[in-house]
Amino acid sequence: MATILETKSVTKKFGGFTAVDNVSLKVDSGEIRFVIGPNGAGKSTLFKLVIGFHSPNSGTILYKDKNVEKLKLHERINLGMGVKFQAPSVFSELTVLENLFLANNREHSLKINDLLNNFALEKEKNNLAGDLSHGKKQWLDIALSTISKPDLVFLDEPTAGLSVDETRITGEIVKNLNKQGITFIVVGHDMDFVKQTASKVSLLHLGKMFIEGSVNEVLSNKGVNDIYLGLS
């Protein structure tokens, strides 16, 4: 599999605090890569570095072997990326359909009706997005990030605030979209969601890459338990 995204020794400091410390990450096309870690591990900062919200102090970010550091957020997106931020950020004054229309940027995009059905938004398609429940907002947000059928989609905490059932359905949808050719990088720490969905896991701790591997390899590592229990 070709490498779709690579970070080489990326470091980001905020004043004296090093949020991301010399992190190298390599994601292949077709993966559902989870980046996990406890609060403050640097997951979301790494995510924001890759999409261009922050600039790294040092290191290189390659997307499809192209250095993207000088590109603005919308320029990176137009190379074939999709993004879903941590908090559901749908446009509350627009209808569900208008939200999807706004996000639909490419010719070979996913069918709106399929997305509406998959995310159970069919009945609410003409409602204002602001009137949706939290769970539906999360789903609409994921739909916005995937409708253009990007090659790589970043999902930051896609199941935050979702019920067990909603989390499971989200996992199925992500796997289904992955089969259609979308590579995912997911930031989160819902272990059931990780086990259900991930093809590979990277664990960050105190801004550094602690371990990478399959779900079983990472979760069976003793150090990982210690990190999550706050013992290391």
Binding of other proteins at residue 70 (CB under 8 A)?
Answer: no
User: CA distances (Å), 140 to each of 61, 69, 96, in order?
Assistant: 29, 29, 8
- Cβ-count burial 118-142 (b if 16+ within 10 Å, e if not): bbebeebeeebbeebeebbbbbbbb
Least separation in angstroms between CB 73 and other proteins: 5
Measured from the CB atom, the residue of 22 and 78 that comes closer to other proteins is: 78
Site string for other proteins, 121-160 (x = CB under 8 A): -----------------------xx--x------------
* Region of 11-19, 20-28, 98-106, 213-221 interacting with other proteins (CB under 8 A): 98-106
Least separation in angstroms between CB 212 and other proteins: 26
Least separation in angstroms between CB 90 and other proteins: 8
Measured from the CB atom, the residue of 119 and 210 that comes closer to other proteins is: 119
Binding of other proteins at residue 185 (CB under 8 A)?
Answer: no
147: buried, middle or exposed (CB in 10 Å: 19+, 13-18, 0-12)? buried
Q: Residues binding other proteins: what is the number (CB under 8 A)? A: 22
The pair of three-digit structure tokens given for residue 94, joined into one six-digit string: 């627009």
Which of positions 3-62 make contact with other proteins (CB under 8 A)? 51, 53
Candidates 91, 151, 212, 228; binder of other proteins (CB under 8 A) is 91
Measured from the CB atom, the residue of 102 and 164 that comes closer to other proteins is: 102
* Region of 3-11, 57-65, 83-91, 188-196 interacting with other proteins (CB under 8 A): 83-91
Q: Give the other-Cβ count within 10 Å of 171's Cβ.
A: 22
CA 199 to chain CA centroid, Å, is 14
Binding of other proteins at residue 109 (CB under 8 A)?
Answer: no
Binding of other proteins at residue 218 (CB under 8 A)?
Answer: no
- Looking only at the bridges linking them, the beta strands covering 32-36 and 200-205 are parallel
| Cα–Cα distance, 46 to 210 (Å, whole number) | 14
Candidates 5, 20, 77, 198; binder of other proteins (CB under 8 A) is 77
**Strand 17-28's sheet: what is its strand order?**
17-28, 3-14, 58-63, 66-67
Q: Give the other-Cβ count within 10 Å of 69's Cβ.
A: 15
